[in-house]
A = this chain, B = another copy of it.
Amino acid sequence: MLYHARQLPSAVVAIVGSGLSNKLARSWDLRAIDVATPWGDVTIHQYSRSDRPAYVLFRHGIPHRWLPNQIPYKAHAWAIRATGCGALLSTSSVGILESTLPLNRLLDVKDIVMLDNRLPDGSACTIYDEPSEQHGHLVLKDGLMSADLRSQLRDMLDREDNADNTVLKGPVTFAYVGGPRTKTVEENRIWRSLGAEVNSMTLAPEIVLANELGIPCAAIVAGHKYSTPKEHAPDSDGSLSLSLDDSGAILARLVTLFLEQGQPVPFRNLIYRFHS
């Protein structure tokens, strides 16, 4: 087990979602590690073909176990810190609200909208649920997305051949919408009218919690469907699986690159603590 919760940030971690979990688990050389956290053990996977410590966290478990509302976000964030994470890349398949954005392309998330800042159980999205010496306000000087890490990722992708699956589109504003159901037509219309361009039922909670733990974050997503009034939901169980697979494939190359080339960056937000 990993217990060194406060080691120097030398590792990189990627979170992968429902689109690419099983496929990646088979193609990558991963070693499962159990990490003890105050909210139970978490299995995180070490990626072996990297010079620095590099880890993958399967957001829904592997095999797929948790619906979006069942994900143990606090335990996940804690386990990520325990690796000594200095750069977190979160990925997700998303619904696209803005019809001019392409499906199945990498979309750089510039900002997050999570209006109620709550975990799936309804409680405030924070590690600091109880009074303690360490607790404080996360003050977003840099934003939830690290400017340094976003630059690093853009440069990393620019160095690759200019294939469709390594061109970074956007940037886009991501809205967090609680699961586990898809949104109604009117709900999607409202999120678009508020400025959101993509949405999904995950990603934002882990980004907020990781920032509270001092971890610089970035998020790159891929649209697996349009969530616009004119478009329709996938026709059947089968076609939804297919569209998730497509968005998973486009994200797989990115995650591999990041695990092999990603580097820690400085944390530029602030945990503000009151002192008597």
Contact = CB atoms under 8 A, between A and B. Distances in A.
A36 interface: no
A184 interface: yes
Interface stretch (A39-47, A76-84, A155-163, A171-179): A171-179
A78 to B, nearest CB: 17
A193 B189 CA distance: 12
Interface stretch (A49-57, A99-107, A137-145, A248-256): A137-145
Contact of A137 (B126, B182, B190, B273): B182
B276 A63 contact: yes
The oligomer's copy count stands at 3
Contacts of A257: none
20 contacts: A18-B274, A64-B275, A70-B135, A111-B186, A112-B186, A113-B186, A114-B184, A118-B118, A120-B124, A121-B122, A121-B123, A121-B124, A124-B180, A126-B179, A137-B179, A140-B184, A141-B235, A143-B184, A190-B194, A233-B270
Contacts of A126: 67, 69, 179-181
A114 B188 CA distance: 11
A112 B121 CA distance: 22
A140 B234 CA distance: 9
Contacts of A194: 190, 193
Interface in A190-214: 190, 193-195, 208, 211-212
